[in-house]
Structure 1
């Protein structure tokens, strides 16, 4: 049986992995190329959904950990996941681009400090 600490650590590791993959997917692309490439767009959106789902799990299962690490935007990740999952066809691709180019690198930096 795994402990809560082990599950939280696994979730954080998987979040880092998904974040790094999302950044890798857009490496060498500009915003125009990104929004014109549906496969890359879908792949990045999927990684952001994974990150948000894992953040949601950590919030639900280990609230003390999230409170002890306020530099990680737990609620924002969960909120973005919910907006993306429930409003997929209304997604603003510019927001997705901005997220992967700016927020995701900041997220990796915050998660690496844990």
Structure 2
């Protein structure tokens, strides 16, 4: 699957864009509520900033790792918060 990701520029850009949107959403939440509990919130915001401001520093390995290792955990955390 990683090879498919790396070879498909549209998927790569769409994935990066979605991570930007997630990071911006977390950033906006924290501007309104500094006490909002979300694990890795600063890393999420930092990833957004890195993608937006440092395209030459974004590796396929990094994005793939986020998608595979971190997004499933974030999804569960958000679902839990929504169902509270």
Gaps of 5+ in 1: 1-29
Give the TM-score of the pair, scaled to structure 2. 0.90
Provide the alpha-carbon RMSD of the alignment. 1.0
Gaps of 5+ in 2: none
Question: Which of 74, 79, 83 pairs up with 1:112?
Answer: 79
- 1:96 maps onto 2:67 in alignment: no
Q: Which runs of 4+ in 1 moved over 2 A?
A: none
1:111 counterpart SS class: helix
Higher relative contact order (CA 8 A, sep 6+): 1
Work out the number of aligned pairs and report it.
81
- 1:79 maps onto 2:46 in alignment: yes
